[in-house]
Amino acid sequence: MPLEMLFKAANYTVIPFWLLLVAAPRWNWTQRLVHAPVVLLLLTPIYAYMLFGYAIPPKDMNFQTLYGVMVGFSAPHIVVAAWIHLLVFDLFVGAWEVRDAQRRDVPHWLVIPCLLATLMIGPVGLLLYVLIRFFNKRVLEYDEAEAL
């Protein structure tokens, strides 16, 4: 399969899972699909193949220097592998955000912008969620104290 098709297939693979997290976070099938290793089972073999079986890595590729990483990213199959890496880990973080928000009674409407940010700009979405989680707890504690 051409690399462009693999890249697009990986992107389209995660979208339904993100939609479930946004639109139906408490639905039984969301729990079964998103919080299970379905995406790992679908994308990890492609990821591993891109890294270890598709082609020989570029000669000076290594992860100890900026130059070595840049050399690695000059190979399209390494870029596809890195993209799959991001897709899988960002979805894992998004699923964690939803589970954590449910445990902490963070309103889902506050989590949705975090999920969108996590999908698009990973760490920024996670930071946004952590901040919302922190301030949501403080606001609730303040409201309860004020009501007494």
What is the domain extent for residue 31?
A: 3-147
- Left, alpha or beta for 105 (phi > 0: left; psi -120 to 50: alpha)? left
Domain count within the chain: 1
pLDDT at 1: 74
* Number of residues that this document lists for the chain: 148
C-alpha to C-alpha distances, 140 to 106, 132, 136, nearest whole angstrom? 10, 12, 6
pLDDT at 11: 96
pLDDT by residue for the chain (148 residues), tens only, comes to 799 999 999 999 999 999 999 999 999 999 899 988 899 999 999 999 999 999 988 999 999 999 999 999 999 999 999 999 999 999 999 999 999 999 999 999 999 999 999 999 999 999 999 999 999 876 555 555 555 5
CB contact at 8 A, 136 and 103: no
pLDDT at 137: 74
pLDDT at 21: 97
pLDDT at 80: 96
